Amino acid sequence: MIKLIKLFAIGVLLVGLVSCNKADQKIKESDTKKVTTEEKKDSPNKQTVSGQESQKTAVTNKSYGDLTEFWNDFKKFALAGEYDKITELTRYPFLYQSTEMSKADFKEFRFTETFLNGMKTKKTPKKSEMMFLGIKAGDMYEVEYEGQAIYFSKVNDEWKFVGILFGE
């Protein structure tokens, strides 16, 4: 039964993937056009392995190319209830069960007390076989606690919080 539920969830996610991919590309294109030449000169950039520049996250002034550093900050912000910072470490659209959340919707989101208690015990995320929202299987990491799992993946050479699923 659990496998059937997982397969159904994956099917729903794959359908969302097709529609999200186009919207995500449009958002990226419009965001890229908004950055002026002057802003590029003034913003703190970091050269990545692929040769592309990535901007530091505004709330932490860090560039999260390392999962351990990202997880430590993410966990610290979650446990302290600093949801504005978590919002900036999140990829949009964000997947919550089978619902895609915009940044505005996500700002109202809060972790459950059960999950926060579980997060205290988790050392690091583990590799996940899940795939959704344009992220391939094997490119995501998860932290699971009592049937709830949160997912992280690299997006444009930066680690991001990408989704939450329930039900194991």
Return the pLDDT at 19.
Answer: 46
Return the pLDDT at 100.
Answer: 93
Separation between Cα atoms, residue 147 and residue 5, nearest integer Å: 13
Tell me the chain's radius of gyration from C-alpha atoms: 16
143 touches 149 (CB < 8 A): yes
Ranges 52-61, 65-74, 80-89, 108-117: which has the least confidence? 52-61
C-alpha triplet 120, 151, 6: angle, nearest 5°:
115
Mean per-residue pLDDT over the chain, rounded: 73
Return the pLDDT at 106.
Answer: 94
Residues 107-126 have a mean pLDDT of 86
Q: Which CATH architecture has domain 2-45+54-166?
A: Roll (3.10)
Domain boundaries of the chain, sorted by first residue:
2-45+54-166
Q: Which among 14-28, 73-87, 122-136, 145-159 has the top mean pLDDT?
A: 73-87
Separation between Cα atoms, residue 120 and residue 94, nearest integer Å: 23
C-alpha separations of 45 from 38, 41, 52, 54, 142 in Å: 13, 9, 10, 6, 28
Ranges 50-54, 55-59, 61-65, 75-79: which has the least confidence? 50-54
What's the pTM? Answer: 0.64
Ranges 45-49, 64-68, 79-83, 115-119: which has the least confidence? 45-49
Return the pLDDT at 39.
Answer: 38
Q: Which among 38-42, 53-57, 145-149, 150-154 has the top mean pLDDT?
A: 150-154
For residue 142, give the DSSP letter.
E
- Tokens representing 121? 């015990």
